[in-house]
Amino acid sequence: MNLKEKPASADQDVTVDFYFINEHEFHVKLAGDLLVFVLHTNVVTFDDEHAVMKTTYIREKEVNRYFGQIMIYNFMSDSLKFNRVNDPGYLLARILINHENRFMVEGDGQLGQLFSNITEKTICEIELNLIINHCLTSAIENDLMAPPFPQVRFITLYQKMEKTQELGGGQKIGFRMKYNSEKTG
């Protein structure tokens, strides 16, 4: 995928940048959003009640149940720019890949539906580009929402001195992972 293709002339203020952080992390900045891709350094599995654990493929061999994972978070790019350490990042998706490079994706919306089951084929550039495109689309389609007025009505002097950049900061809307919906809904 070529992230640096020139934006349409009407979108001159839309910037796209790629930042290599290290072998386990990279960032993609799209306008005011910053997607953070992090390869978790540990292998993970799921509890036996997870749907993927009930598949024939996973039950065939014990080793099939273990995955590496890539977490994809969305931050406001200004959070990093101004070092607003208390600004939240939102998990858009996680890609889970096993020893045979078969994979699945957990996430919201289409991200959680496209590859919600362990795949028959191994992961390749086409699927990775599709996942990244869906993450970028999800990030830009969810706008900032100001906190309710009563929540920001009063501040302490400490908050003013130490957290000026954070005061009244927006939070992303539209992100609610399926497991959050189940807990609150």
Q: Which amino acid is at 148?
A: P
Which residue, among 94, 88, 104, has the nearest Cα to 177 in the 3D structure?
A: 94
State if pTM tops 0.95. Answer: no
Cα 150 to the center of its chain, rounded Å: 30
pLDDT number for residue 167: 53
pLDDT tens sequence for the chain (185 residues): 555 554 554 556 678 899 999 999 999 999 889 999 999 989 999 999 999 999 999 999 999 999 999 999 998 888 888 888 778 888 999 999 999 999 999 998 788 888 888 989 899 999 999 999 999 988 888 776 767 888 777 777 877 776 555 555 555 544 444 444 454 44
